[in-house]
Amino acid sequence: MRYGHFDDAAREYVIVRPDTPLPWINYLGSEDYFGLISNTAGGYSFYRDARLRRLTRYRYNSVPYDAGGRYLYLRDAASGELWSPSWQPTRTGVEDYRCRHGLGYTAIGSRQAGIAAETLYFVPPGETLEIWRTRITNRRGTRARLSVFSAVEFCLWDAWEDATNFQRNFSTGEVEVVDGVIYHKTEYRERRNHFAYFACSEQLAGFDTQRDAFLGPYRGWERPLAVEQGQSGDSIAHGWAPCGSHHVEVELEPGETRELVYLLGYSENPTDSKFDPPGSQTIDKRRVRPVIERYLDAAEVEAAFQRLRDHWSEILDVLHVETPSEHVDRTVNFWNPYQCMVTFALSRSASSFESGVGRGMGFRDSNQDLLGFVHMVPERARERILDLAATQLPSGGAYHQYQPLTKRGNDAIGAGFNDDPLWLVLAVAAYLKETADLGILDEPVAYDGAPGSETPLYEHLQRAVGYTLERLGPHGLPLIGRADWNDCLNLNCFSETPGESFQTTENRSGEVAESVFIAGLFVLAATELAEIAARRGLGDDAKSFRAAAARMDAAVCEHGWDGDWFRRAYDHFGNPVGSAQNDEGRIFIEPQGMCPLAGIGLDDGKAERALESVAEHLSTPHGLVLLQPAFSAYRLELGEIGSYPPGYKENASVFCHTNPWVVIAETRVGNGNRAFEHYLRINPSAREEQSDVHRCEPYVYAQMIAGKDAPTPGEAKNSWLTGTAAWALVSVTQWILGIRAEHDGLRIEPCLPSDWTGFTATRRFRGATYRIAVRRTSERRGDGVQLLLDGRPLDGTVVPAAAAGTTVSVEAVLPAMPGTAAELVTVSER
Ligand code: BGC
Ligand code: NOJ
């Protein structure tokens, strides 16, 4: 069952009923000012940091769902009837409800009692404000007299304090209302030099800034007293809960439309000119006033919206594909890269599942996110790499997280996740392949943010690889430390204390437990680094990284192979994890993806065997589960993984992030059909028709889908902020479609499902444009791909980088698979 549909021409998802299984959200803003917005106008806004600079209040895990948002109420003066065009918060019946989630904007509207209203929400590029543009049309045969009320509830900046420290914050709230603009200035009197504002383009009939005056005693947002009575209280908040509400009276002739503009924004003043006049407590508004005036103008709003659309077109034009699959097309052309850009901006901080007060930027997460956006914003990727590397520790290890505001490692979450540093190598390799900017390797970068400790970035990569080599266990495999990619495989934790953090506790020495997954990742990273070293003219380094990779490969084959699949780890006692010897958790997915992806077992059948085992033991209609059999109980020696009921999260859900690794592995053994099948199982668009089962948004990936051992198989959770976004995009574009940046140019080596007759793509790469046409033909003999560059046959599958500004055309010819649709088409063409 569906709740809406894709509108690909508009690059939108259109939700046609408001009661989606969960709030289906979108993001506003992509630079400094951000908002989350649900399909019924729920959500909140913040400046840069979802915890420390939160503008509006939101109630996570509220009843009913999704309380707090960007609300509008209409009230018919004649009947007294009131409703919200976005359905929430009044939840009164509306007709013709539509929410269009687009790239960086959302529009929500409906009709009620002959009055149509739609609001477009977006953040103009380069600004720290959001615009709500509301259009109200009278579709009645008679004149309508309406009251329009807006409503937001301000957050007292630090979202954690705001939700916990009531003895203080019930007394600190302050506002100003000047010329109809509501200014929220709590703590401005002391150390803050920032404030929020909420403005409206219309003459006001009244306003409210004290929440309880607006709502009335013991009322919620669903029926505010002021709206019911059609009259604001002109209240000024002193302490308690400051809010912002404008009251506008509108008269509309039949067929007439009125446009109202609201601005919700963030502004700062220099510390020495906070007040006007100096010595007063009144906000100096000289800087903010012109901004407000500018964007209250309808033409400016339209122009800003056009700039936003152009901004996204520019970014997404880097890769455009047309394939036989609509799911691939819309996912690859906009939703998936868009999601990657959101993970770039927000890491794992603020979503429907991440409250914005907890986590900083993950070192591992951010490096992997980069794989999904480096081609769209290479300059910003460069900056991100340097920020990440500057938090690396002198040992080569890494803090698990760092804080985006300070760019310092976060000690509270600790270090010692032994896979972490290796992801930096993959991120830098991806950046170099995209840009050929070898100069980044010479950038001086500090360790742990300490001035004076700088070395060239290249040395950071050496130390990352060295970190693994200095921490090998009894089988010559990497010690796992606190955990590896699987944060819940805590083999040195042994926690018996309720509530103790699995992520920071390490009760055992950590000298025995080893990770086969890190071994695979190491082979990949060391091979990448060898290539980088060779390009820097460091032949000896290249040789030694290659040798280290070969030794690790051998160790995996000797001690990491279980007979039918790769083992997952060795525990603190030296016993295998993820082995046929185990009663539960016999096979884990991570090494079956990562080892072949790194090239391990490709030439002796291990990779193919492992992938068969994946298909046999881990495949479900909803994707590949992380492990089987699920752990039925908590296991002291394994850590958090057994804390989850079977089928959820790391304990045998479809942990989506891992599926693209298997997709890539399948392409590495040449199995295009299975690669595509695995890809499609978790593709959100392909799951749209079971939205009632999936429950999360059908336009973005979720971190997990409940596995077959769960009571709710197929139910997704933790949508939006997940490494799945980057890896899914990499797997389909670089390995199935086979278009991938390499140091010497653009490789085009598709591994397609057998019934595809071909596809076309346009890729911008280092300033040149590549028009790519891939087709199967029964005339092609042999099993590889033959490239034609501007009509001339090319040796190999790498198209050398073309001069910036030029356009080249590349034809890739693949043999048709006997008996498939592709062959029949090419045969009948003859
Ligand atoms: C989750 C992991 C997550 C970790 C981060 C755990 O509770 O299961 O998915 O990576 O927390 O702190
Ligand atoms: C989510 C975390 O953000 C990521 O870093 C981790 O690899 C996965 N969970 C698996 O535990």
Mutate to test the pocket of ligand 2, among 359, 370, 426, 657 (most ligand atoms within 8 A of CB): 657
Tell which one of 488, 658, 721, 724 to mutate to probe ligand 1, the residue whose CB is within 8 A of the most ligand atoms: 488
- pLDDT at residue 823 above 60? no
- Would you state the pLDDT for residue 819? 65
Query: Given a cut of 50, is residue 400 above it in pLDDT?
Result: yes
Q: Does 420 sit in the ligand 2 pocket, CB within 6 Å?
A: no
163-180 per-position pLDDT tens digit: 999 999 999 999 999 999
Residue 359 Cα: closest atom of ligand 2 = 3
pLDDT band for 415, please (50, 70, 90 cuts). Answer: confident
Which residues are CB-contacts of 585 (< 8 A; sequence separation ≥ 6)?
Answer: 568, 577, 578, 627, 628, 629, 630, 631, 638, 641
| pLDDT over 60 (residue 382) | yes
> What pLDDT is attached to residue 818?
67
Measured by CA distance, the residue closest to atom 11 of ligand 1 is 487
pLDDT the model gives residue 830:
36
487 lines ligand 2 (CB under 6 A): yes
688 CB under 6 A from ligand 1? no
Q: How far apart are the CA of 211 and the centre of ligand 2, in A? A: 39
- For ligand 2, the distance from its centroid to the CA atom of residue 486, given in whole angstroms, is 6
Q: Is 726 in the pocket of ligand 2 (CB under 6 A)?
A: no
Task: Give the C-alpha distances (Å, rounded to integers) separating 604 from 275, 783, 784.
Answer: 74, 20, 20
Q: How far is the CA of 487 from the centre of ligand 2 (A)?
A: 6
430-460: per-residue pLDDT in tens? 999 999 999 999 999 999 999 999 999 999 9
Query: In this model, does residue 217 exceed pLDDT 70?
Result: yes
Write down the pLDDT at residue 826.
45
Rounded average pLDDT over 399-421: 87
Per-residue model confidence (pLDDT) at position 784: 87
Q: Is 368 in the pocket of ligand 2 (CB under 6 A)?
A: no
Q: Is the CB of 348 under 6 A from ligand 1?
A: no
Quick check: 367 pLDDT over 70? yes
Tens digit of pLDDT for each residue in 264-311? 999 999 999 999 999 999 999 999 999 999 999 999 999 999 999 999
DSSP, collapsed to helix, strand or coil, labels residue 156 as strand
Distance CA 507, CA 1 (A): 48
pLDDT digits (tens, 9 = 90+) for 75-124: 999 999 999 999 999 999 889 999 999 999 999 999 999 999 999 999 99
Give 196's strand partners. 184, 266
Of all atoms in ligand 1, which is nearest to the CA of residue 644? Answer: 8
What pLDDT does residue 816 have? 84
Residue nearest to atom 4 of ligand 1 (CA): 487
Mean pLDDT, to the nearest integer, of 319-327? 98
Give residue 820's pLDDT band: very low, low, confident or very high (50, 70, 90): low
Q: Is residue 546 within 8 Å of 563, Cβ to Cβ? A: no
Going from the C-alpha of 95 to that of each of 115, 120, 530, 550, 645, the distances in angstroms are 10, 18, 62, 65, 41
Give distance in angstroms: CA of 383 to centre of ligand 2: 23
DSSP letter for each residue of 286-350: TTHHHHHHHHTSHHHHHHHHHHHHHHHHHHHTTEEEE-S-HHHHHIIIIIHHHHHHHHHHHTTSB
* Spatial contact of 823 and 816, defined as CB atoms under 8 Å apart: yes
* Whole-angstrom distance, CA of residue 494 vs CA of residue 637: 5
Residue 46 reports pLDDT greater than 90: yes
Residue 475: name the closest of 555, 543, 399 by CA. Answer: 555
242-251 tens-digit pLDDT: 999 999 999 9
Q: Which residues of 73-98 are buried (b: 16+ CB within 10 A; e: fewer)?
A: bbbbeeeeebbbbbbbbbeeebeebb
Our answer on whether the CB atom of 488 is closer than 6 Å to any ligand 2 atom is yes
* 692 carries an active-site annotation: no
Q: Is 488 in the pocket of ligand 1 (CB under 6 A)?
A: yes
Residue pair 401/410 in contact by the 8 Å Cβ criterion: yes
User: HSE on the CB side for 184, CA within 13 Å?
Assistant: 30
Determine which one of 369, 419, 487, 553 is catalytic: 487
Is the distance from the beta carbon of residue 362 to the nearest atom of ligand 2 less than 6 Å?
yes
Kind of pairing between the strands at 807-815 and 768-777: parallel
494 and 571 Cβ atoms separated by less than 8 Å:
no
Atom number, ligand 1, closest to the C-alpha of residue 703: 9
Distance CA 329, CA 560 (A): 38
Identify which of 346, 361, 365, 653 to mutate to test ligand 2's pocket (most ligand atoms within 8 A of the CB). Answer: 365
pLDDT tens, residue by residue, 584-629: 999 999 999 999 999 999 999 999 999 999 999 999 999 999 999 9
Q: Quick check: helix, strand or coil at residue 87?
A: coil
What is the percent of the chain where pLDDT is above 90? 94
Q: Which atom from ligand 2 is nearest to the alpha carbon of 489?
A: 11
What lies within 8 Å, CB to CB, of 145 at 6+ separation is 76, 77, 78, 249, 250, 251
CA dihedral 452, 456, 460, 465 (to 10 degrees): -140
Structural contact between residues 733 and 319, judged by C-beta atoms closer than 8 angstroms: yes
Give, to the nearest 10 degrees, the angle between helix 457-469 and helix 378-389: 60
pLDDT tens digits for range 617-631: 999 999 999 999 999
Give the model's pLDDT for residue 405: 76
Place of tokens 């122009």: 303
Nearest ligand, CA of residue 483?
A: 2
Pocket lining: 649 vs ligand 1, CB cutoff 6 Å: yes
- Locate all alpha helices (DSSP H) within 131-178, ordered by sequence: 159-164, 166-169
User: For residue 723, which ligand has an atom nearest its CA?
Assistant: 2
Nearest residue to 284 via CA among 155, 154, 197, 169: 197
For residue 643, give the ligand nearest its CA.
1
Give 821's pLDDT tier (boundaries 50, 70, 90).
low
Determine contact, residues 5/86, Cβ cutoff 8 Å.
Answer: no
* Mean pLDDT for all residues in the chain: 96
Can you tell me the mean pLDDT for 132-157?
A: 98
- Whether the CB of 364 sits within 6 Å of ligand 2: yes
CA 377 to CA 382: how far, in whole Å? 9
User: What is residue 213's three-state secondary structure?
Assistant: helix
Atom number, ligand 1, closest to the C-alpha of residue 650: 8
CA dist., res. 821 & res. 758, Å (int): 11
